[in-house]
Amino acid sequence: MGLGRRPELRSSLKKISPWEPAGRRSARRALRFEHGWVLDYHGLEGRLILGVGVIYRFDEYQIDTDLFELKHGAEAVKVEPQVFDLLVYLIANRNRVVSQSELLDSIWSGKTVSLSTVASRINAARSAIGDSGAAQKLIRTVQRKGFRFIGEVGETGAAAARTKPADQEIHFCTTADRVRIAYAVAGKGRAVLKAGNWLNHLDYDWQSPVWSHLLQWMASKHQLIRYDARGNGLSDWNVGDISFEAYLRDLESVAEASRVERFALFGISQGVAVCIAYAARYPERVSHLVLYGGFARGRRIRGTLDDIEQAEALITLMRTGWGQENPAFRQVFTSMFLPGGTPEQMQWFNDLQKTTTSPNNAVRMRFVSDTLDVSNLLAQVKAPTLVLHCKDDAVQPFSEGMFIAAGIPGARFVALEGRNHLILETDPGWPKFRDEVGRFLGEG
């Protein structure tokens, strides 16, 4: 909506002129939100900049200043307008302490308000985002100074976040042992080839509430190439060989079919080991290596007797319950992979398991995952490497991520907050993941 149709906004602009002397506007230096527009007063000249809304993501919450909406996961959180404005102001100015006088000037437009009213709104803001005056994990009180938002925040333009995602093109190639592999290409820029992992479906993942934010973000920055490994998704299910070496052949075939000479490799979970093996075998093809939530040694290789028994129990569960209509058996795996997922995300992952592969293939793929070992290849990796792992990953231990980073020469390790094995858009570690990977792939 243009300014001509916003009389209340025009009135606000008249009250605070962009040419008002800086000395009379010293408190109006940071972001101020009115009617969905961002009013930024800064610098000695006191320039006025008009912009559109922003989406902030932190902890398991999301604030959309364009829609005036606060969400916890997929659920909307009811919050009073003044409390919403207060939250947004603190988040927008999170790099510094905001004084009470500044809040009075910015949120209450300089009206006389008691300190107890300010304290009440601060408490309401904390309550809305799962914080409290005792915990102060997100909004911290700085004695005699004011307040500061201390959570880790990701920020995107609201319009950009709602932009239609890039289209993907699906193609097929054939491996040396005549297995048909489906692969997809989306986006432009530096080529990033994502290795297949345990359970993928090119079409289903692209639209899912679990994978889409990651895949579409990557495709918005780079040319993303990804594929369904043999035995699942749109690739051949009826195959004789499901083994680690066969998975490596799948990656080799997609790399050749894509006709990209040099690319960044991106591995998640089981795909990490495949990327390590490929990078060690073809160092001239790999420019960068990004490894998230992975392991170099399967559970049966690195684990204790209890770990091995648990692996056996999971495989037994797959054999007996994977293909049943009742999702109770598959829910076991969903709860492991997405302990912090929303009901929608959990339902999607339940459906994915049944849709993307057969019970027999699920067992075969899981056995490969449990028995792989690329630890002897770590030292052979030459590409610049970024290793990321969530501290409380419920599927692959944090220690395994550190093991990989310690074994690859020059690798950089980044610890992320969170417990979901597949990183969700609402996870506390997602903004840091995006920043670290974006910066890393922008190098060189």
Sign of CA dihedral 247, 393, 161, 201: positive
Question: Are 78 and 182 part of one and the same domain?
Answer: no
Question: Are 144 and 178 part of one and the same domain?
Answer: no
Question: Are 201 and 260 part of one and the same domain?
Answer: yes
According to the model, what pLDDT value does residue 399 have? 95
pTM comes to 0.67
Question: Are 268 and 413 part of one and the same domain?
Answer: yes
According to the model, what pLDDT value does residue 157 have? 59
Question: Are 57 and 131 part of one and the same domain?
Answer: yes
231 and 364 in contact (C-beta within 8 Å)? Answer: yes
According to the model, what pLDDT value does residue 8 have? 38
Give the highest mean pLDDT range of 56-70, 323-337, 388-402: 388-402
Distance of alpha carbon 314 from alpha carbon 308, whole angstroms = 10
Question: Are 201 and 72 part of one and the same domain?
Answer: no
Residue 176 belongs to domain with CATH number: 3.40.50.1820
Strand partners, 170: 184
Distance of alpha carbon 65 from alpha carbon 91, whole angstroms = 11
List pLDDT tens digits, range 8-44: 333 333 333 332 333 333 333 334 333 333 333 333 2
| Chain length of the chain | 444
Question: Are 135 and 174 part of one and the same domain?
Answer: no
Res 400 pLDDT > 80: yes
Q: Domain range for residue 426?
A: 164-441
Distance of alpha carbon 287 from alpha carbon 144, whole angstroms = 51
Question: Are 214 and 296 part of one and the same domain?
Answer: yes
373 and 296 in contact (C-beta within 8 Å)? Answer: yes
Distances (CA, A) of 44 to 22, 23, 33, 272: 6, 9, 21, 51
**Sheet bearing 69-72, strands edge to edge:** 75-76, 69-72, 61-64, 54-58, 153-157
On average, the pLDDT of the chain sits at 83
40: Cα within 13 Å, side-chain hemisphere: 10
249 and 178 in contact (C-beta within 8 Å)? Answer: no
Question: How large is the average pLDDT for residues 310-328?
Answer: 76
Distance of alpha carbon 195 from alpha carbon 203, whole angstroms = 16
Number of domains observed in the structure of the chain: 2
364 and 242 in contact (C-beta within 8 Å)? Answer: yes
Distance of alpha carbon 250 from alpha carbon 229, whole angstroms = 6
Residue 142 belongs to domain with CATH number: 1.10.10.10
Distance of alpha carbon 312 from alpha carbon 8, whole angstroms = 66
Q: Among residues 159, 186, 212, which one ends one of the domains?
A: 159
Question: Are 180 and 216 part of one and the same domain?
Answer: yes
Question: Are 54 and 197 part of one and the same domain?
Answer: no
Distance of alpha carbon 275 from alpha carbon 283, whole angstroms = 11
List pLDDT tens digits, range 152-211: 887 765 554 555 556 899 999 999 999 999 999 999 999 999 999 988 999 989 988 899
Question: Are 349 and 424 part of one and the same domain?
Answer: yes
According to the model, what pLDDT value does residue 364 have? 93
Q: Among residues 107, 128, 159, which one ends one of the domains?
A: 159
Q: Among residues 136, 159, 182, which one ends one of the domains?
A: 159
Question: Are 301 and 177 part of one and the same domain?
Answer: yes
Distance of alpha carbon 53 from alpha carbon 160, whole angstroms = 10
